[in-house]
């Protein structure tokens, strides 16, 4: 019983990203936040807890700054907080091995996270973790409820929006959910500050946290756009359409 | 060097992105196997030039989509130094699951790929570009419309494999049919509306132009958050989809940083906004200062006339 929620700390989506020396300059990022899709996973896990499903364990993997998203999760109702402390860049296999080991330790048989994180936008963790754990997997859900041993979810599948059912241990990844996200109240925030965080190293979990098979070579800014041509009023449409064909060659 | 391409399908036929995956694999050299989940499109896959072999994987588990069941069926049949899929929702899930099963790393939504492997992708929804080197064997999903399609005219042998994996995810009922419109992540032309469209019913004007152009219709986050008629699946930008079409037409979108991140890498951008100071004009190749009410009917007529010739 219990739900493990995986949270990734990412730059707030309003943050400007600057590059320094071929690398994203993290020190220039003013605000970090829980990745938006992960917030829907957290909300759903807390709703399950309120319907009697057991504790919510919030897990994050990342450098020391990431502990903040665990405290934020505690403020809205997460019961146990696990921080897998890693300072280096990890490949998908390392991330999944770390998360798998910590989910196993919690004994949770439901795992929830966002369908992708707002930094890399990859979406590898949920389905990869399900394989690693040997759990079932349902991706891109907007709602999950549990009745007896059966979980029911709404997902956007290949043939449209559909309701699916799955029994046994399962990983769900969230799209933008149906529920409004709750905001923490003052009492929640105060309690959360006192909540202990279990901090674990990759070694504690029996995973090699160094030899990433994916190595970041370079970061760069997208090419600056040259100022374009500006036209006033809808009278300019014929001229613009001609340019789309003749200059841009896109229609 | 050998590659296995996981084919992409849509409504029971082979999706054209499959030829792009083969095109990317061909540029790296070596034999190319295309594996078709559920056997969908296997005869068309065999006609793509450069394909060495097609494996048509058939079985009851492919009647509905259960990522784990599909992955368990496909994984034992996949070999080679490189696995490629589309970075569609299902493509990403499948390749993640398969790579985890095989214990190899996966890198998603790559826009250029070189020998070795060296890959480029956007991060922070387009606010930065990342170059990575990846040890082989590995799995990589490619962004649609970023790679040249392989041509037709091939005639690869097709082998059929029957598998039966237990399905754990049961589809109980359909709630809404998938939109018949092209998805923004696959379109070569996108026309998007923002809150400046006034009300969701006015998106019909965008739909009409999209029909003329064969374009997908997108929306800004402000539009998606304000109107429940505009689904999140249309959202372009951070917390939505990052897109790189040949032409992006932004109508009534002021250009919040999250939106700009998700569309600024489009080859050409046309912005229509009544506010001459709107930030969207800062990234637009062509900017028209006008209300949508004035601009869209004229744009539709002009395009219809041009494209009917």
- Interchain contact, B239 vs A220, CB within 8 Å: no
The list of chain B residues with pLDDT below 50 reads none
Q: What is the pLDDT of residue B173?
A: 93
Tell whether the model's pLDDT for residue A64 goes beyond 80: yes
Predicted confidence at residue A2, as pLDDT, reads: 93
Helix (H, G, I), strand (E, B) or coil at A166: strand
- The verdict on B93 and B203 lying in the same domain is no
pLDDT band at A157 (very low <50, low <70, confident <90, very high): confident
pLDDT value of position A81: 98
pLDDT score, position A160: 87
Sheet strands (E) in chain B: 3-6, 9-10, 13-14, 32-37, 53-58, 82-86, 106-114, 118-123, 128-134, 138-142, 157-162, 169-177, 189-193, 216-219, 247-251, 268-273, 286-289
Are residues B213 and B74 both part of a single domain? no
What domains, with CATH codes, occur in chain A? Answer: 3-200 (3.40.50.620)
Residue B155 lies in a domain: yes
Taking the C-alpha atoms of residue B237 and residue B79, their distance in angstroms, rounded to an integer, is 36
Same domain, residue pair B17 and B133: yes
| Residue B8 structure tokens | 């992409």
- Give the pLDDT confidence score for residue A6 in this predicted structure: 98
| pLDDT tops 80 at residue A211 | yes
CB interface of A with B, residues 152-191, below 8 Å: 152, 154, 156-168, 170, 175-176
Same domain membership, residue B242 and residue B155: no
- Asked if B207 and B246 sit in the same domain, the reply is yes
Asked, for residue B171, whether it belongs to a domain, the answer is no
Let me know whether B289 and B155 are in one domain. no
* pLDDT, position A146: 95
* A225 chain-B contacts, CB cut-off 8 A: 264, 269, 282-285
A-B contacts (CB, under 8 Å): 276
Asked whether the beta carbons of residue A119 and residue B131 sit closer than 8 angstroms, the reply is no
**Rounded mean pLDDT, A170-193:** 94
Measured in angstroms, the CA of B160 and the nearest CA of chain A are apart by 24
Contact A228 B285 (CB under 8 A): yes
Chain A CB within 8 Å of residue B13 CB: no
Whether residues B281 and B150 share a domain: the answer is: no
What pLDDT, on a 0 to 100 scale, did the predictor assign at position A223?
Answer: 86
d(CA B187, CA B172): 31
The pLDDT assigned to A87 comes to 92
**Domain CATH code at residue B228:** 3.40.50.1220
Q: A214 and B105: CB-CB below 8 Å?
A: yes
- Tell me: do B206 and B239 sit in the same domain: yes
Total domains, chain B: 2
Query: What is the C-alpha separation between B56 and B38, in angstroms, rounded?
Result: 7
Using CB atoms, which residue from A116, A130, A160 is nearest to B97?
A: A130
> Are B303 and B210 found together in one domain?
yes
* CB of B108 less than 8 A from some CB of A: yes
**Residues spanned by the domain of B202:** 184-308
* Domain final residue pick, B114, B132, B162: B162
Same-domain check for residues B58 and B155: yes
Percent of chain A with pLDDT over 70: 100
Q: Which of B132, B173, B298 sits opposite A234 (nearest CB)?
A: B298
Is B164 near chain A, with CB under 8 Å?
A: no
End-to-end CA distance of chain A: 56
Check if A28 contacts B (Cβ < 8 Å).
Answer: no
Q: What is the mean pLDDT of chain A?
A: 95
| A58-79 average pLDDT score | 98
């Amino acid at each position: 019983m219990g739900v493990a929620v995986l949270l990734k700390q990412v730059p707030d989506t309003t943050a400007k990203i600057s590059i320094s020396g071929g690398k994203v300059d993290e020190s220039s990022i003013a605000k970090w936040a829980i990745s938006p899709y992960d917030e829907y996973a957290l909300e759903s896990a807390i709703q399950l807890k309120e319907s009697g499903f057991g504790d919510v364990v919030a897990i994050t993997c990342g450098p020391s700054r990431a502990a903040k998203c665990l405290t934020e999760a505690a403020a809205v109702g997460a019961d146990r907080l696990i921080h897998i402390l890693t300072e280096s860049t990890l490949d998908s296999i390392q991330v999944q091995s770390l998360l798998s080991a910590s989910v196993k330790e919690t004994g949770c048989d439901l795992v929830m996270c966002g369908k992708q994180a707002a930094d890399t936008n990859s979406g590898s963790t949920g389905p990869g973790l399900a394989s690693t754990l040997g759990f079932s997997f349902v991706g891109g859900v907007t709602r999950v409820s549990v009745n007896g041993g059966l979980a029911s979810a709404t997902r956007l599948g290949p043939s449209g929006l559909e309701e699916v059912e799955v029994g046994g241990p399962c990983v769900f990844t969230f799209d933008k959910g149906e529920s409004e996200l709750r905001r923490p109240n003052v009492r929640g925030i105060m309690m959360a500050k006192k909540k202990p965080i279990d901090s674990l190293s990759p070694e504690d979990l029996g995973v090699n946290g160094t030899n990433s098979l994916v190595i970041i070579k370079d970061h760069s800014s997208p090419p600056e756009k040259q100022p374009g041509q500006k036209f006033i009023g809808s009278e300019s449409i014929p001229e613009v359409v001609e340019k789309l064909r003749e200059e841009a060659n896109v229609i | 060097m050998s590659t296995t391409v996981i084919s992409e399908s849509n409504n029971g036929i082979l999706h054209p992105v499959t030829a792009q995956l083969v095109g990317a694999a061909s540029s790296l050299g070596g034999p190319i196997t295309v594996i078709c989940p559920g056997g969908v499109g296997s005869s068309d896959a065999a006609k793509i030039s450069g394909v060495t072999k097609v494996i048509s994987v058939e079985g009851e588990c492919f009647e509905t989509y259960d990522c784990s069941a599909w992955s368990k069926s496909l994984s034992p049949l996949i070999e080679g130094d490189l696995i490629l899929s589309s970075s569609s929702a299902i493509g990403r899930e499948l390749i993640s699951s398969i790579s985890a099963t095989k214990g190899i790393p996966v890198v998603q939504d790559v826009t250029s790929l070189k020998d070795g492997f060296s890959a480029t992708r956007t991060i922070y929804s387009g606010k930065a570009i990342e170059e990575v080197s990846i040890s082989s064997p590995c799995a990589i999903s490619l962004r649609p419309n970023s790679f040249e399609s392989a041509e037709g005219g091939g005639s690869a042998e097709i082998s059929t494999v029957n598998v039966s994996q237990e399905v754990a995810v049961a589809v109980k009922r359909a709630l809404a049919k998938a939109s018949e419109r092209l998805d923004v992540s696959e379109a070569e032309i996108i026309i998007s509306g923002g809150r400046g469209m006034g009300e969701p019913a006015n998106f019909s004007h965008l739909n009409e132009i999209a029909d003329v152009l064969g374009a997908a219709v997108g929306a800004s986050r402000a539009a998606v958050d304000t109107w429940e008629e505009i689904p999140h699946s249309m959202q372009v930008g951070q917390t939505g989809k990052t897109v790189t079409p040949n032409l992006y037409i932004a109508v009534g979108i002021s250009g919040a940083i999250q939106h700009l991140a998700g569309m600024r890498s489009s080859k050409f951008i046309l912005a229509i906004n009544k506010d001459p100071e709107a930030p969207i004009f800062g990234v637009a190749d062509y900017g028209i200062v006008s209300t949508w009410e004035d601009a869209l009917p004229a744009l539709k007529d002009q395009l219809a006339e041009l494209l009917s010739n």
